[in-house]
Amino acid sequence: MTIFEKIIAREIPARIVYETDEFLAFHDVNPQAPVHVLIVPKHVIPRIAAASADDAALLGRMLVASGEVAKKLGVAESGYRLVINNGPDAGETVPHLHMHLLGGRDLTWPPG
């Protein structure tokens, strides 16, 4: 059981900002911007490379949900960056697919 499953099960606390039947969004414990939230599907897919065609609709709803999260956190107009890390070179840490949403400051380029 990863840390994200424990957060979803309310076994580990998190600063939750958004929840639906399918997704939980909460503040990153090591924020890299004034707004830095993780959007996590409750259904476990280890990483985006492991996603199949059957997961597409869920993943699309995750992207659409990010707009709701951005509104809720006041960065819909100022802007935000969505990031998904896959594998060692990207620094993927938890084998439970999640998407970072960062905003509230000027985000530089390259993205890491």
Active site amino acids:
98
2 Rama class: left (phi>0) / alpha (psi -120 to 50) / beta: beta
Q: Which stretch binds a copy of itself (CB under 8 A): 5-13, 18-26, 72-80?
A: 72-80
CA dihedral sign, ordered 27, 84, 20, 80: positive
CB 22 within 8 A of CB 99: no
Least gap, CB of 104 to a copy of itself (angstroms): 7
- Please select the residue that binds a copy of itself; options are 32, 39, 40, 74, rule is CB under 8 A: 32
Q: Which of 2, 5, 42, 86 forms a contact with a copy of itself (CB under 8 A)?
A: 86
Question: Among 93, 83, 97, which residue's Cα sits nearest to residue 51?
Answer: 97
CA 100 to chain centre: 4
Instruction: Give the whole-angstrom CA distance, residue 87 versus residue 48.
Output: 9
Closer to a copy of itself by Cβ: residue 1 or 87: 87
89 is an interface residue for a copy of itself by CB under 8 A: yes
Least separation in angstroms between CB 34 and a copy of itself: 10
Q: For a copy of itself, which is the closer residue by CB, 16 or 104?
A: 104
Contact between 44 and a copy of itself by CB under 8 A: the answer reads no
